[in-house]
Amino acid sequence: MLSCPISDVAALLPHSGHMVLLDEVLAYDHESLQASAHIGADHVLMQPDGTVPAWMAMEIMAQCIAALDGIHAHNGGESVRLGFLLGTRKLHLFADTLPLGCELLAETRQSIRDNNGFAVFDCSLRIIAAPAGFRLPENGLVAQAALNVFSPPDLDGYLAQTQKATT
């Protein structure tokens, strides 16, 4: 069993390098996860004005879901599986941008999951520390959404079936 905090988040995700947007898993249980993220100068989505667009919150929240699945895979002696972000319902953005130097708290909780690999998670992203002068949204809440994801139990079989159907 992995214990928190988990600093090697990349080992839990099918991502690498700068595409790993989470810094640390702070807590998890069977259906939920909390993680931290930092907006640093080398952030992959940094704009020339020194901010990151708030819409990138969807990717941070999706990586929380992937990290939770990665933890369960690790704890079950399995490999990390690829998953797909299918879309979102009820996406609310409460800021336009995230400033350089802000610290974020991302949270996800499973709402539903079926045996075919489809799931819905309720997610949020909050700024817990920001540079002086940045006006925080109410309660630091930057984004809130229900994310629809798909991680087939047999990815190779699913991809072969999908390719066969398109030819």
CB-based contacts of 51, cutoff 8 Å, min separation 6? 97, 98, 99, 100
Q: Is-contact 99 39, C-beta < 8 A? A: yes
Dist. CA 101–CA 144, nearest whole Å: 21
**Dihedral angle of Cα 77, 122, 13, 10, to the nearest 10 degrees:** -110
Which pTM does this prediction carry?
Answer: 0.91
Per-residue pLDDT of the chain (167 residues; tens, 9 = 90+): 999 999 999 999 988 888 999 999 999 999 999 999 999 999 999 999 989 999 999 999 999 999 999 999 999 999 998 999 999 989 999 999 999 999 999 999 999 999 999 999 999 999 999 988 888 888 999 999 999 999 988 777 877 887 787 77
**Dihedral angle of Cα 56, 61, 63, 65, to the nearest 10 degrees:** -160
pLDDT at 39: 95
70: left (phi over 0), alpha (psi -120 to 50) or beta: alpha
Which pair of structure tokens corresponds to residue 133?
Answer: 């002068």
Catalogue all structural domains in the chain, each as residue range(s) with its CATH number.
Answer: 9-166 (3.10.129.10)
Dist. CA 73–CA 77, nearest whole Å: 6
Strand partners, 108: 33, 123
Residue 127 has phi, psi (to 5 degrees) of -85, 125
pLDDT at 10: 96
Closest CA to 99 of 62, 137, 68, 72: 137
